[in-house]
C-alpha cells in the first residue's frame, strides 16, 4: 500500500501457536521509505524479507538499495526478518540502546519474555550499528529530504521509539498506541500513557503509521492516538475488576479480563498475563483511575 509517493506500508500476517492445534492470528506492518536509498522501519517476522523484496521489485526498486533498518523495538514481529535482510543487503541497523540486548541475543529475549513459537518468528540475532535516543535526527539517504526525528516512547517496551518524518507528516508509532479490541501487550501502563500524551503533542501529523493498525490519515490519526488512552483505561478497569476478589494468579486474571474486554479465548496467553500483571501492581493508582 502506497501511503505517500515515498512511503509504503506492508502488512504481514502471521500466526502464534498458543496450544496444540490452536493459533492466534496476528499481523504487523513494516514501512518502506523510498528515497535515493531505501530505509525500512521494522521487518516483520522471519520470512517477511521475501514479501518486502517482492514489493520493492514491484515498484521498480532493487532490494539491495535497502541501506538502513530502523527497529522501533526488539519484539519478534519487528526484528524477525532483520538478519536475512542484512545478509542480502549489508544494510545498517539502528534501535534504542534499551533494546540492544534482546536484538543481539534473541535466546536471552526468549528466556526473559517467552512468546509461543518464538523460534519460528525470529530468524536470528543481529548487531546494532547505531543507537538512537530521543531527539536524534536520522537522514537515511543524506539528502535531508527525509529527515526522521526520534521520539522515545516507552511503555510497550523500555526502548520503544516512534519516528516523525516531518516533510511527509508521517508519524511511525510502532506498538506505542494500544488498539481497542486487540491483544494488549506492553510492560508499563504509566509509561504507555505518558508516551501517548507525547505523541498527541506532535504537530503536523498527516498520517499515523502503526505497526498493529491500518494507516490513519489527518483527523483520524489524532483520534486514534487519543483512543489509545481510553483503551488503557478500559484494560486497567477490566484487570482490577477481574482481580477484585484478591486473585493474583496471572493466567486466571487474564482469562477473566479477556471476557470483560471481549477478547477471544486464544488471546489468553502469557503475553496478556504479563501485561495485566503490570495493571494489578498499579491498583489504586490515580494516574490510571476513573478520572484518567
pLDDT tens profile 168-226: 999 999 999 999 888 899 999 999 999 999 999 999 999 999 999 999 999 999 999 99
Q: Is the pLDDT of residue 290 over 90?
A: no
| Strand-pair category, 161-165 with 38-41 | unpaired
- DSSP secondary structure letter of residue 287: G
- pTM (two decimals): 0.94
The chain-wide mean pLDDT, for the chain, equals: 94
Closest CA to 276 of 231, 230, 240: 240
Measure the CA–CA gap between 176 and 191, rounded to whole angstroms.
10
pLDDT digits (tens, 9 = 90+) for 135-164: 999 999 998 999 999 999 999 999 999 999
Cα 201 to Cα 17, 94, 100, 220, 225: the distances in Å are 38, 25, 28, 15, 10
Closest CA to 261 of 288, 230, 226: 230
Measure the CA–CA gap between 100 and 95, rounded to whole angstroms.
7
Instruction: Spell out the residues 6+ positions from residue 124 whose beta carbon is closer than 8 angstroms to its own.
Output: 83, 106
pLDDT digits (tens, 9 = 90+) for 218-266: 999 999 999 999 999 999 999 999 999 999 899 999 999 999 999 999 8
Domain ranges (residues) in the chain: 7-234
Closest CA to 198 of 157, 248, 240, 162: 162
Measure the CA–CA gap between 176 and 69, rounded to whole angstroms.
19
Q: 31: helix, coil or strand? A: strand
CA atoms within 13 A on the CB side of 82: 31
pLDDT digits (tens, 9 = 90+) for 63-102: 999 999 999 999 999 999 999 999 999 999 999 999 999 9
Return the CATH number of 7-234, one of 3.10.28.10, 3.40.1280.10, 3.60.15.10, 3.40.50.620: 3.60.15.10
CB-CB contact of 159 with 197 (8 Å): no
Measure the CA–CA gap between 73 and 79, rounded to whole angstroms.
8
Amino acid at each position: 500500500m502506497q501511503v505517500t509517493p515515498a512511503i509504503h506500508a506492508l502488512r504481514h500476517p502471521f500466526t502464534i501457536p498458543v496450544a496444540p492445534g490452536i493459533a492466534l492470528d496476528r499481523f504487523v506492518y513494516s514501512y518502506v521509505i523510498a528515497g535515493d536509498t531505501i530505509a525500512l522501519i521494522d521487518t516483520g517476522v522471519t520470512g517477511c524479507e521475501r514479501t518486502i523484496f517482492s514489493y520493492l521489485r514491484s515498484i521498480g526498486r532493487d532490494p539491495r538499495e535497502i541501506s538502513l533498518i530502523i527497529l522501533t523495538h526488539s519484539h519478534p514481529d519487528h526484528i524477525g526478518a532483520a538478519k536475512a535482510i542484512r545478509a542480502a543487503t549489508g544494510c545498517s541497523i539502528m534501535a534504542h540502546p534499551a533494546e540492544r540486548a534482546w536484538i543481539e541475543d534473541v535466546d536471552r529475549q526468549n528466556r526473559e519474555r517467552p512468546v509461543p513459537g518464538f523460534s519460528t518468528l525470529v530468524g536470528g540475532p543481529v548487531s546494532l550499528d547505531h543507537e538512537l535516543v530521543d531527539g536524534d535526527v536520522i537522514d537515511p539517504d543524506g539528502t535531508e529530504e527525509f529527515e526522521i526525528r526520534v521520539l522515545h516512547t516507552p511503555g510497550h517496551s523500555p526502548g520503544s521509539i516512534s519516528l516523525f518524518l516531518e516533510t511527509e507528516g508521517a508519524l511511525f508509532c510502532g506498538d506505542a498506541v494500544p488498539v481497542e479490541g486487540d491483544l494488549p501487550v506492553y510492560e508499563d501502563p504509566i509509561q504507555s500513557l505518558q508516551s501517548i500524551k507525547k505523541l498527541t503533542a506532535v504537530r503536523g501529523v498527516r498520517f499515523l503509521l502503526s505497526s498493529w493498525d491500518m494507516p490513519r490519515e489527518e483527523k483520524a490519526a489524532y483520534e486514534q492516538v487519543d483512543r489509545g488512552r481510553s483503551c488503557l483505561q478500559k484494560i486497567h478497569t477490566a484487570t482490577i475488576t477481574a482481580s477484585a476478589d484478591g486473585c493474583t494468579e496471572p493466567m486466571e486474571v487474564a482469562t477473566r479480563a479477556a471476557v470483560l474486554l471481549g477478547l477471544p479465548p486464544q488471546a489468553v496467553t502469557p503475553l496478556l498475563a504479563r501485561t495485566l500483571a503490570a495493571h494489578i501492581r498499579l491498583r489504586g493508582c490515580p494516574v490510571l483511575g476513573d478520572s484518567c
